[in-house]
Chain A
Amino acid sequence: MRPYTEVIANTTVHFDLVPIPGGKFSMGSPADEPGHRADESPRHEVEVAPFWMGKHEVTWDEFDTWSFALDAKRRKAFKVAPSDLEAKADAVTRPTLPYREMSFDMGKVGCPAICMTQLAAKTYCQWLSEKTGRYYRLPTEAEWEFACRAGSDAAYSFGNDASQIDDFAWHRGNSQDRYHPVGQKKPNSFGLYDMHGNVAEWTLDAFTAAGYGQPAGVAVNPVALPNSVYPQTVRGGSWIDPVDRLRSAARLGSDRSWKRRDPQLPQSIWYFTDAPFVGFRIVRPLTEPPEAEKARLFDAGNEE
């Protein structure tokens, strides 16, 4: 596995993927870790298969290409016919346009996309998969935490010394109340940027306030697929969070209040008007699963 750059055809948008070797790790946090919450218990052994992961959070440049069909607009402007892959990608649903602009004046170019529902993030992945011919999806919580830890059992990928956080992350104390362009802080030892902080990141899993139950033995590629829209899990904390919410094991469940100020009814299935702290990053499993497994992961817990 090697790092590579993915180029979105007929745009100037590209982004980097870094290989994350599979392996075993301890998921969750011990009760004596400062900031620990019950939903991070019990700490248990997990094994994940190898995958590539976005070096950065998905940016508006990437996300808008899908949501506003900027690729199709460029093809039209430059009179380029869609390739077979692009024709298939064009058939993937694009979201309805929001009535209001969703970056909330925090900047767009090079900045993380925010305010999308898990369904929107998953549909983006579906579109990107068709567009590139390579299978992308959201990470499972286990994959996300494995990637975030990058071999560390400590509270943060860089150890337990929270005073180093400003070198690695945007959080409530240093963000000046806004997100920042991706990749401005130090990466973890896998080469991933902004795993701690900046924007919290969607995973595929349901949020379970009671924790991880009673896992027996080593859980291999675990995923707790949601059977309802709320709550689903975001990871990594964000620019509005205190430092301890950025810990590798910290979890946050989505909530209906994330669209409380969406003035339309029914409320949009694509946007969380009140979650300007939620974004995502993508993964590509080394071994592409069969179509049925892709569908199982996509179909769980979607907005209607």
Chain B
Amino acid sequence: MTAETNDDRPAHPRRAFLNLRKPLVGAATLAGGLALYRSVHAAGDDTIKIALIGCGGRGTGATNQALSTSGPVKLVAMADAFDDRLQKSLTTLKRLQGERVDVPKERQFVGFDAYQRALAADPDLVILTTPPGFRPIHFEAAVKAGKHVFMEKPVAVDAAGVRSVLASAEEAKKRNLAVGVGFERRHRLNYLEAMKRIHDGAIGDVVYMRVYWNSDGVGWKERDPDDNEMTYQMRNWYYFNWLCGDHIVEQHVHLMDVANWVKGTHPVEANGLGGRQVKTGVEFGQNFDHHFVEFRYDDGVRLISQCRHIPGCWVSCSEHIVGTLGTCSIGEAGGAKIEGANPWQHNGRNDPNPYQVEHDVLFASIRSGQPINEAASGAISTMTSIFGRMATYSGQLLDWDKALNSPVRLAPADQQYSFDAEPPVLPDKAGAYPVAIPGVTEVI
């Protein structure tokens, strides 16, 4: 299996603006256009109705961007496990978007099954921004309901989830549904420009790649004494594998996506080191605070990958692609450069906001009747990060096909999702959660 390359994405974000106002009648000859045509027919205009599922900070941001695309758009439903998150998000969006936010009480849905009710509220497109553990379930339901989708990365936390997303991605393609995935680097000008040069041979043949997401770490939530175990894990989701997948999956996945983008495929082998040296408190759940993975692609090229969440250490969030003719380095500040035979530098400080561009591209593709579908590529990059976590958790040399076909699920197939249910992991008497032990833990 190979990852999809970026062929279905506009080479330059501005290209996406061209077909924005194309009449929907023209688009309706395609199945996806029909789906939209049907839903907009009743409304009597070409308004794209949106449901937000997962009302955290990113979901709220993504919805604000969706509501800032060209053409009529409306937020018609919101869903979250928690009412307080939903209300905070609604207040923010109303302030910024005014009448584009039309979510009366009867279309505010709270609880684990809120996504089903939001899907039933007749949206054209859903934004899936819950913790990633739920993504495969929500994506499958959205595609079955015939909805266009924007979903945040990562799109799963285990191989079973990736396989589910790959299947739903196929189904979405058949139904001509648009699927945008929040790998926003794919819409950043510095990455697009760098990638064009790399693929045009500016650094020669790729010899190896280095990527780093070494930071001081992200926040956590204290346990409210009134919370039961499921509520606590949902609030502090970043630190539970079944919800988050660990930071190598939740965050560092961006950089593995870039490496796969360079190679046009995924690695076939991985081994890694990792552990939990500093963030050892119970509030950090199950996560390792560092992972160091060496991936091998089929042609022998290695990807050296570090991610660390420890305050006070060397930090870097960057990709370095070393070729026979030069090195391309891409960093967070929006910059990119090539040193070597074909030197080049790009200062991206005034580049378009990629979080906006990814929605502009997605919505334009829907309006033009030529929907983009980033789901399979996003699933393969997600799998790459899961593959990395499998390597650091197990300490073994792992094979891609076995990893992708692993029956191990972080939440059992028959897991009950409710606040009364027992979550897939429980604390011991000291309040500590199970943490992987390399050499002991089995991941495949």
**Which A residues fall within an 8 A CB radius of B?**
64, 68-70, 73, 96-101, 103-106, 108, 177, 240, 260-266, 274, 276
Contact = CB atoms under 8 A, between A and B. Distances in A.
User: Which of A69, A240, A274 gathers most chain B CB within 10 Å?
Assistant: A274
A103 B314 CA distance: 10
A105 B311 contact: no
Contacts of A260: 353
User: Which of A105, A177, A260, A262 gathers most chain B CB within 10 Å?
Assistant: A105
6 contacts: A96-B219, A99-B218, A100-B215, A104-B333, A177-B345, A265-B64
B349 A240 contact: yes
Main secondary structure of the interface of A (DSSP, over half): loop
A70 B96 CA distance: 37
Given A263-B61, A263-B355, A265-B60, A64 B216 contact: yes
Interface of B: 57-58, 60-62, 64, 89, 92-93, 96, 184, 213-219, 251, 311-312, 314-318, 331-333, 335, 345, 347, 349, 353-355
B216 A263 contact: no
Contacts, number: 77
Given A68-B311, A101-B332, A105-B318, A264 B219 contact: no
Given A108-B314, A265-B61, A101 B355 contact: no
A105 B60 contact: no
Contacts of B89: 265
Contact of B332 (A69, A105, A177, A266): A105
B332 A104 contact: yes
Contacts of A177: 335, 345, 347
Given A73-B311, A105-B318, 6 more contacts: A64-B311, A73-B312, A105-B332, A177-B347, A240-B349, A263-B184
Given A64-B312, A105-B332, A105-B333, A264 B214 contact: no
A105 B347 contact: no
Contacts of B349: 240, 274, 276
A276 B350 CA distance: 12
B217 A261 contact: no
Given A64-B216, A97-B219, A100-B317, A105 B331 contact: yes
Main secondary structure of the interface of B (DSSP, over half): mixed
Contacts of B218: 97-99
Closest 3 CB pairs of A and B: A264-B57, A104-B333, A68-B311
Contacts of B93: 265
B316 A105 contact: yes
B354 A261 contact: yes
B347 A103 contact: no
Contacts of A264: 57-58, 60-61
B419 to A, nearest CB: 25
Contacts of A261: 353-355
A265 B92 contact: yes
Contacts of A105: 316-318, 331-333
Nearest to A74: B312
Contacts of B96: 265
A266 B57 contact: yes
Contacts of B355: 261, 263
A247 to B, nearest CB: 22
Contacts of B312: 64, 68, 70, 73
A270 to B, nearest CB: 11
Contacts of B214: 101
Contacts of A97: 216-219
A175 to B, nearest CB: 11
A105 B255 CA distance: 15
Contacts of A262: 61
Given A64-B311, A101-B214, A108-B314, A266 B333 contact: no
A70 to B, nearest CB: 5
A72 B421 CA distance: 37
A215 to B, nearest CB: 36
User: Which of B213, B314, B332 gathers most chain A CB within 10 Å?
Assistant: B332
Nearest to A261: B353
A97 B60 CA distance: 19
Contacts of B60: 264-266
Nearest to A77: B278
A265 B353 contact: no
A99 B215 CA distance: 9
A240 B348 CA distance: 12
Given A106-B333, A177-B347, A266-B92, A70 B316 contact: no
A218 B219 CA distance: 49
Contacts of B62: 263
B311 A108 contact: no
A34 B316 CA distance: 39
